[in-house]
Amino acid sequence: MTNKDRLIVALDVDTEAKALELVRKLKNDVKIFKVGLELFSSAGTSIVGKIKKEGCEVFLDLKFHDIPNTVARAATAVTGLGAFMINVHALGGYEMMKKAVEAVRQEASRLKTERPKLIAVTVLTSTDENGLKRVGISDNIESEVMKLASLAKEAGLDGVVASAKEAGLIRAGLGKEFLIVTPGVRPSWAASGDQRRVAAPADAIKGGADYIVIGRPVTEAADPGEAAKRIAEEMER
């Protein structure tokens, strides 16, 4: 993949108009955009199709986490939107993830459309060791991430969301075909914000990430296109 293929820009904005303005500014330098809870809640399902009409792909980041039947129905509902990739939360467990895989496959087959990639969130990059302990998880982050990533692979998912700090462990343990999407990536010239487990773009790719997700360093830049180009240069290095 080229750097343009690997970079996912997070559209963490509150209106459709702001999101589409960013897509139009960036689409010559960015192929994939992430639609998360804020934008999806504001703009609704139609935002996926509108981004695709600009010639770009969508990672629909809704992190489904509920009882298996509810997640399966939600996964069925979003399969036909045209997103390139969707996700669930691995802490929902094996049965929930397996049901989601089955639902996506069945709906894509029924619609005669390409199946979106289905990945699982492991441990949020805003969480550190202390954060895990406060919710009753005694494992260190690396162990917890590997446990959840292994469970996701067993359930038939295509990959996981994990920080660059665990990407190498996942790649070594679960193989080169298992997708790794890495948020919490910050170029050398950007602030960390609320992310705790961060890495530079080049380090994330070197560590084994297939895709990196970057939001504010691009979307809040004075020149978003130039910011995306600088990140691509860092990825090359």
Residue among 31, 34, 63, 98 flagged as catalytic: 63
The tens digit of pLDDT for each residue in 163-172 reads: 988 999 999 9
State yes or no: is 4 an active-site residue. Answer: no
Whether the Cβ atoms of residue 181 and residue 210 lie closer than 8 Å to each other: yes
By CB atoms closer than 10 A (0-12, 13-18, 19+), residue 91 is: middle
Q: Locate 125 and state its tokens.
A: 């990059």
Alpha-carbon distance of 230 to 189, in angstroms, equals 10
Whether the Cβ atoms of residue 60 and residue 86 lie closer than 8 Å to each other: yes
Whether the Cβ atoms of residue 36 and residue 14 lie closer than 8 Å to each other: no
191 has pLDDT over 60: no
Provide the residue ranges of all domains of the chain, joining segments of one domain with +.
3-236
Higher pLDDT, 235 or 44: 44
Beta carbons within 8 Å of 112's beta carbon, 6+ residues apart: none
Query: Which stretches does DSSP call E strand in the chain?
Result: 7-10, 32-35, 57-64, 85-89, 117-121, 159-161, 179-182, 211-214
Higher pLDDT, 140 or 98: 98
Sorting pLDDT into bands at 50, 70 and 90, what band is 206? confident
192 has pLDDT over 90: no
At 5, the amino acid letter reads D
193 has pLDDT over 90: no
Alpha-carbon distance of 7 to 219, in angstroms, equals 13
Q: Locate 8 and state its tokens.
A: 């996912």
Q: Locate 189 and state its tokens.
A: 């010239």
The pTM assigned to this predicted structure is 0.92
Homologous superfamily of 3-236: Aldolase class I (3.20.20.70)
